[in-house]
Amino acid sequence: MSGKSFLKLFLTLVLLVAVAAGGYFKLEEFSAAKVRESLDRHADLVRVDFERALFNPFDKSLHVWGLDCRLATGAGCSVRKLEVDSFDHEHNPPRFFRGRVHGVSIPVEFINMGTLARDFWKMGYEKLDFDLFADYSYEDETKRLSVKSINFDGPDICRVSAGFSLGDVSLRGPGIGGFIGTSMLDGSLVWQDLSLTNKIVALSAESEGVGIEAYRDRLRESLQLEMQEARSLGNGYAENFYAELIKFIENPERLVVRVEPTEPVPLIYMFMGRSFEEMLDLYGITVEANFYSRK
């Protein structure tokens, strides 16, 4: 290759890089304008500032960095990055969504948490840091809402992963009207404790003026009485719940909750005066504590 040919190739590559960089920054400007336009529609409820945004026109994903959120009440939080992998732009409410929020940070202050701030301060939290992930889809034909995953990951707090399916959901417009008559089909929740339970037990013991182990014994005895009452009433679901909760209190590691009703059960039944134990039986709720550590 001659010197002139190499120079032409080099200049061509430089030009392509410059065009790509210019296009990238133009895309960032367009993305930021679109995000601000969307956020401005809700400015009466929450004010959101951000550092930069990037919308991918090919897969329609969105990335927003450095968010600062302030509610009209004064409560607020910061977010390191928001990622929207997929989103239904054609319907309201959206029929599908998949996205995550990295680096949420909520200061432990009264304006953010009310009187709970005092308890979190006593447990040693100055702020709550966590990540979130959500993935759901809805089918108009079957009227089924499938929440494939809702994840909460809070270092030094807990990790929670949940998913569930609802039937007879009618998403014909915004609001909760479409959830009237909705039935629970199935669901699950996995709680992995990362110190929160032990801190709550220690705080409760302090508030009652007893030692931690004495408080834990008292709590265990109370749960055993509930378990025995459930057994006497023939409620196996409630008996299982209290038995596994005792194991979790003794050694807070992981708790798995499964919802498996024998047939779809309307959610409205939860608000019709039934006891907690009756709802465990009605919705087929079972619990298993520390299952992965068993030999």
- Tell me: the pLDDT tens digits for 198-246? 999 999 999 999 999 999 999 999 999 999 999 999 999 999 999 999 9
Q: What average pLDDT does this structure show over 253-260?
A: 96
Model confidence band, residue 14 (pLDDT cutoffs 50, 70, 90)? very low
Instruction: Please spell the DSSP secondary structure of 33-58, one letter per residue.
Output: HHHHHHHHTTTTTEEEE-SEEEE-TT
pTM for the structure as a whole: 0.84
Q: Residue 174: its pLDDT value, please?
A: 54
Which band of pLDDT confidence, cut at 50, 70 and 90, is reported for residue 193? very high
Q: What is the pLDDT, as a whole number, of residue 59?
A: 81
- Taking only the tens place, the pLDDT of each residue in 134-174 is 999 999 899 999 999 999 999 999 999 999 999 998 877 55
Residue 293 has pLDDT above 60, yes or no: no
- CA distance linking residue 6 with residue 151, whole number of Å: 53
The string of DSSP codes covering 190-208 is EEEESSHHHHHHHHHHHHH
Contact 261, 279 (CB under 8 A): no
Q: Which two tokens stand for residue 168?
A: 């007879």
Helix (H) or strand (E) holding 218: helix 212-232
- Give me the pLDDT at residue 292, please: 57
Average model confidence (pLDDT) across the chain: 84
* Separation between Cα atoms, residue 185 and residue 267, nearest integer Å: 10
The residue with tokens 């299982």 is: 240
- Greater confidence (3 vs 32) lies with 32
CA-to-CA dists, residue 119 to 108, 113, 125, 127, 142, angstroms = 10, 10, 9, 12, 45
Give mean pLDDT, residues 252-265.
95
**What is the structure's pLDDT at 26?**
42
Q: What is the DSSP letter of 66?
A: E
